[in-house]
Chains A and B, each alone.
Chain A
């Protein structure tokens, strides 16, 4: 991993990050001692069983919750400041579109909230609708779209303010397998076109292997990072990859890191 010169441009830098929730029956340690660096433009997946803290980590990066300990910076600033500066876009498992707004109005929401001019807004929305191949649907309402289309709108909305970091919490988790694979390919293309770094939470090993530059393997009780597996597939993420032996070999590697063998190193570093 690079250090020194490029420090300031790292999309995410976490060191010793922990999160403790005050529960009814005492404290619950959701996350402990997380060290993770996401370089600019890098695609990193967080994978692990329920309760491993992968969604919690994403919420900490997004400053939807505050870290209990450790240092967490996004593009060199505290996560709180990065949120105020709109340095990231976020998408969840549910599309979370506002039902009373059309597709175009939904995509425009973050721009509206930050007082982007009407003309500029219109142009940007048209651009984003094309990016997610929904140009013909901008006047529809969410209840007139399929689940996959809704999720594409949500991705377009997350990209509206041209963030250099995209946070995604199981965005394809509720979709059928066909739609899922299609959107994975789309996301690969979109991430490449926008040059944004992506932190992607998922349950699915094949999904993580297909999309990522690195797969971060996490484990529960307490939530922590147990391994980081590198993926050597930059620039060749197409349908052929899904059939290739190298791909299966990586899927196996991640699976072993998840279930297998005694926990190896606590972290890559």
Chain B
């Protein structure tokens, strides 16, 4: 019952958004609302003509039409293919990020010195703009490849995605590993349990409620990072590159860029949904000790 209600409200939200789009397109000025003198004008309301704001049904129809005319497959198929490619890259980046973030968190929990030395850098790392950072990773990859290593270009994208993904995991898991009460730590000590036993039987299970939101954030970040990195280093085949390409042709084919846009949204939903599925299997770890 509650689940149906939630789904219902979700659908209502989408409908409201669609209605707002069409209503503004109907009522808004075709050339937008511009104030100020020639040369320094300010666009206060966006344009509503068909090249700027295609109808929703045009976007829908465009998804079913051939990607680039002639016999090419429908746009939706191309978008789906690109989305799956990006999803794969993002998943590798997510895994890498979870691994690195997890190791960092365990290190910081184990040693106060490691925490003092690492935590500030971990926080600072997230202030480096991705656009500046992506070409560096790519050029390192190219040099490794030239030196005889194996470093496909998509792996650069995955590494960049992991750079965004590791952060919430490192912070969330650290907090989670610290969450057991003093009484539980005393108990493990009374059992003469060592570090690893305490980690596996107490700290990691206790960290799950902190870890799950972190994993979901990491998934969203990995998708975002993968899309941006694709654009930034110009990797073909993914949804990021496709978005830029079709946006470039928007003046002649205004509905087309909306295809990969919807694809990117679906991508984020699938990524977050996968983590939610995982959470389902871990729900015993989200119980409290208090009598319900």
Contact = CB atoms under 8 A, between A and B. Distances in A.
A96 B183 contact: yes
18 contacts: A62-B186, A83-B189, A83-B190, A83-B192, A88-B190, A92-B183, A92-B186, A96-B181, A99-B287, A100-B205, A100-B285, A100-B286, A110-B191, A112-B201, A113-B193, A142-B287, A143-B291, A146-B291
B202 to A, nearest CB: 7
Interface residues of A, number: 28
Interface in B189-214: 189-193, 197, 201-202, 205-206, 208
B289 interface: yes
B284 A141 contact: yes
B289 A62 contact: no
A113 B206 CA distance: 17
B190 A62 contact: yes
B147 interface: no
Interface string A66-90: 0000000000000000011010101
B292 interface: yes
A95 B181 CA distance: 12
A194 B290 CA distance: 30
A114 B201 CA distance: 12
B51 interface: no
A99 B288 CA distance: 6
Interface residues of B, number: 25
Nearest to A102: B284
Contacts of A95: 289
Interface of A: 62, 64, 83-84, 86, 88, 90, 92, 94-100, 109-110, 112-114, 141-147, 150
Contacts, number: 67
A147 B290 CA distance: 8
Given A96-B183, A99-B288, A143-B290, A84 B205 contact: no
Most chain-B Cβ atoms within 10 A of its Cβ — which of A62, A97, A109, A146? A109
A143 B292 contact: yes
B289 A99 contact: yes
- In terms of DSSP, what is the predominant structure of the interface of chain B? helix
Contacts of B278: none
A96 B187 contact: yes
A142 B186 contact: no
B178 interface: no
A90 B187 CA distance: 8
B197 A98 contact: no
A147 B289 contact: no
B192 to A, nearest CB: 5
Given A64-B190, A110-B191, A113-B197, A96 B288 contact: no
Contact of A94 (B183, B205, B287): B183
Contacts of A143: 287-292
B184 interface: yes
B191 A109 contact: yes
A86 B284 CA distance: 29
Interface string B271-292: 0000000000000111111111
A83 B192 CA distance: 7
Contacts of B189: 64, 83
Interface in B159-192: 181, 183-184, 186-187, 189-192
Given A113-B197, A143-B288, A145-B291, A90 B190 contact: yes
Contacts of A150: 289, 291
A89 to B, nearest CB: 8
A100 B184 contact: no
A98 B198 CA distance: 12
A66 to B, nearest CB: 12
Contacts of B187: 90, 92, 96
A100 B287 contact: yes
A86 B287 CA distance: 29
Contacts of A100: 205, 208, 284-287
**What 8 A-B pairs are tightest by C-beta distance, nearest first?**
A96-B183, A99-B287, A100-B285, A143-B292, A99-B289, A84-B192, A100-B284, A90-B190
Contact of A114 (B191, B202, B286): B191
Given A86-B191, A98-B206, A141-B284, 5 more contacts: A92-B186, A99-B288, A113-B191, A141-B287, A143-B289
A88 B284 CA distance: 30
Contact of A98 (B184, B191, B291): B184
Contacts of A96: 181, 183-184, 187
A150 B290 CA distance: 10
A113 B199 CA distance: 12
A110 B192 CA distance: 9
Contacts of B208: 100
